[in-house]
Amino acid sequence: MGFKEPEIDAKKDNSNKDRELLIFNLKMDEKDGEWFLAESAMGLSALQHIIKIILFKEGVGRLFFLIDINNHRRKREEEIIGEAMKAVQWVRRTKKPTSLEPMPAYERRLIHLKLAEQPDIITESQGEEPERKVVVRLYP
């Protein structure tokens, strides 16, 4: 048993004016990728965390980067933004707040940034990790 060497795509994302984000997408055999993507991609999050610690100890400083495997994060981002937009429609129609599924901080931040573009909507995170979730409501 062993992993086949992944192909690595690296790109810069300058969409955030405050900082540059480096995105590394590891393209690997689907069976190998399952090791990292099982159970809400806990292995992928752990890999990212380990690399962050190594870079910090090596004195790289605050480098902003994301590691993705087989475009999992990109697909997940599209999925959660779609769910958030459905929640916005529901809140507008019913005038009642709603909450999204629990998600990691990175995903909650994406939701907050995306829904900040909606002038009649506000968001906030509620709860304790790992059950922390985004609540969507109308702007008062």
CATH code assigned at 114: 3.30.1370.50
Q: Are residues 85 and 115 in the same domain?
A: yes
Which range of residues forms the domain containing residue 56? 7-70
Residue 112 maps to a domain: yes
Half-sphere exposure of 48 (CA within 13 A, CB side): 21
Contact yes or no for 51/45 (Cβ under 8 A)? no
If you average pLDDT over residues 101-115, what whole number do you get?
92
pLDDT digits (tens, 9 = 90+) for 2-51: 677 888 888 887 776 677 778 888 899 888 888 888 877 888 888 888 98
Give the pLDDT of residue 2.
66
Give the pLDDT of residue 117.
96
If you average pLDDT over residues 109-118, what whole number do you get?
95
Give the pLDDT of residue 49.
86
* Cβ neighbours of residue 40 closer than 8 Å, sequence gap 6 or more: none
